[in-house]
Amino acid sequence: MHLNQKYRLYSILLIAPSVLAILVFVYGFIAFTGVASFINWTKMKIDFTFVGFNNYIRLFQTERFLIDLRNTLTFTVLFLLITIVIGLLLAILVDQNIKGESLFRNIFLFPMAFSFIVTGVVWRWLLAPGNEITGALGVNLIFEKIGLGFLANGWYTDPRIGIRAVVIAAVWQYAGYIMALYLAGIRGIPVEIVEAARVDGASEINVYRHIILPLVRPITLSAVIILGHISLKIFDLVVSMTGPGTGFSTDVPAFFMYDTTFRGNRFAEGSAIAIILLLLVAILVVPYLINSSKVEVER
């Protein structure tokens, strides 16, 4: 008994600093940002005049913000869908007991090692369209050389493509990571189940459809959460790759938040954007948290 109490004291003592730090530096600052989004803070000097929802109302009247929300939606949907599909396909391919498996695995995983800044700069060059005088550049030049010149386009400089060009870079970076997740999942499936299906005469396609895919479903959920919160908060990739783009066609709320807060000095409105972003991420993450805590209780 005495020993147990001692350990209890230890654990409380050990956990206290990080709990305190998280309380202050995470939840404290979230609360402060929440307060800041309801006051009239438009200069460097803070002004605590309460203005209600004015900052939010103003935001939703700002065209740039509405474009940003649309861009985020487009980006999130495309990024999640394409990354997960490609990641899963790569995992299935790599899982076929091919020669040099670890080499391929590493090649696909490698982009993960870069920061978004590096990815952004590289893809900015690759997707630079060139113009009438310089002729095609980067990917457009490749298209032209292999006789697919009709595919050449303005990429991120074309407002009709805009944020979709950024999706290409983001997918390139994260597809390998999702592959690794799925590969781990597939490898974790007991061989007996798969073998049993084969013995029962299931075709390879059916093995995947009815055995493997249902068993890796939890992985898909994690992938959606991981990619989803990355995509809602995306900032560095956009900054280094395109900037806000023609008519804000590649702009995202995080970038607008930075502009509004630190360039425009409208700290209150910047806070309002931050709170909206927080809510968006919460919509995505909270169901997952509730779900996983339920699972833990069941165990």
Partner 1 sequence: MVKKHWYIVVALMVVASILMAACQATPTAAPATSEKPSGKLEIFSWWTAGGEAEGLNAIMAVYKGLYPDVEIVNATVAGGAGTNAKAVLATRLQGGNPPDSFQVHAGLEVEKYSPSQYLVPLDDMLDPAVYPADLLAMLKYEDHYWSIPVNIHRSNVLWYNKTVLKDAGIEAPQTMDEFMAALETLKGKGYIPITMGTKEGWEGAHVFEGFLLSFLGPDDYIGLWKGTTAWSDPRVTSALEAFKKMMTYVNTDNAALTWDGAAQYLTTNKAAFLIMGDWAAGWFASQNFTDFGWAATPGTGGQFVALSDSFALPKGAPNETAAKAWLQVAGSKAGQEAFNPKKGSICARTDCDDAAFQAVPATYDYLHATAAEWKTDRIVPSIVHGAATIESWATAFKDTISLFVSSGDVAKTQTSLGQLCVDAGVCK
Six-digit token pair at 122?
Answer: 């590289």
Q: Which two tokens stand for residue 18?
A: 């990080």
Pair of tokens at residue 129 = 């369209």
Segment 205-244, which members bind partner 1 (CB under 8 A)? 242-244
Say what the alpha-carbon torsion angle 19, 20, 23, 25 is, to the nearest 10 degrees.
-110
Of residues 41-60, which lie at the interface with partner 1 (CB under 8 A)? 42-45
- To the nearest whole angstrom, how small is the minimum distance from the Cβ of residue 40 to partner 1? 12
With CB under 8 A as the contact rule, the residue among 87, 120, 245, 253 that binds partner 1 is: 245
What φ, ψ does residue 117 adopt, rounded to 5°? -60, -50
Task: Give the list of residues 6+ apart from residue 122 with CB closer than 8 angstroms, or none.
Answer: 169
Stretch that binds partner 1, among 110-118, 208-216, 257-265, 276-284 (CB under 8 A): 257-265
User: Is 265 a residue that touches partner 1 (CB under 8 A)?
Assistant: yes
Min CB(103)–partner 1 separation in Å:
35
**What ranges make up the beta strands (E) of the chain?**
130-131, 135-136
Residue placing its CB nearer to partner 1 in the complex, 129 or 253: 129
Site residues for partner 1, window 125-164 (CB under 8 A)?
128-134, 154, 156-157, 159
- For position 64 contacting partner 1 by CB under 8 A, the verdict is yes
Q: How far is the CB of 232 from partner 1 (least distance, A)?
A: 22
50 contacts 36 by C-beta, under 8 angstroms: no
Contact region with partner 1 (CB under 8 A), list: 104-112, 122-130, 191-199, 230-238: 122-130
Q: State the Cα–Cα distance between residues 104 and 90, nearest whole angstrom.
A: 9
- Least distance to partner 1, CB of residue 59, Å: 13
Binding residue (CB under 8 A) for partner 1 from 262, 286, 289, 295: 262
Site for partner 1 (CB under 8 A): how many residues?
39
User: What's the closest the beta carbon of residue 85 comes to partner 1, in angstroms?
Assistant: 29
CB of 264 to partner 1, least distance (A): 4
- Quote the radius of gyration of the chain (alpha carbons, Å): 24
Distance in angstroms (rounded) separating the CA atoms of residues 74 and 159? 13
Query: Which positions from 183 through 202 interact with partner 1, judged by CB under 8 A?
Result: none
Q: State which residue, 141 or 211, has the beta carbon closest to partner 1.
A: 141
Q: Are 236 and 118 in contact (CB under 8 A)?
A: no
Measuring CA to CA, how many Å separate 48 from each of 39, 54, 177, 262? 5, 14, 45, 18
DSSP secondary structure string, 139-160? HHHHHHHTT-GGG---GGGSTT
Binding site for partner 1 (CB under 8 A): 10, 14, 17-18, 21, 42-45, 63-64, 124, 128-134, 154, 156-157, 159, 242-249, 258-260, 262-266
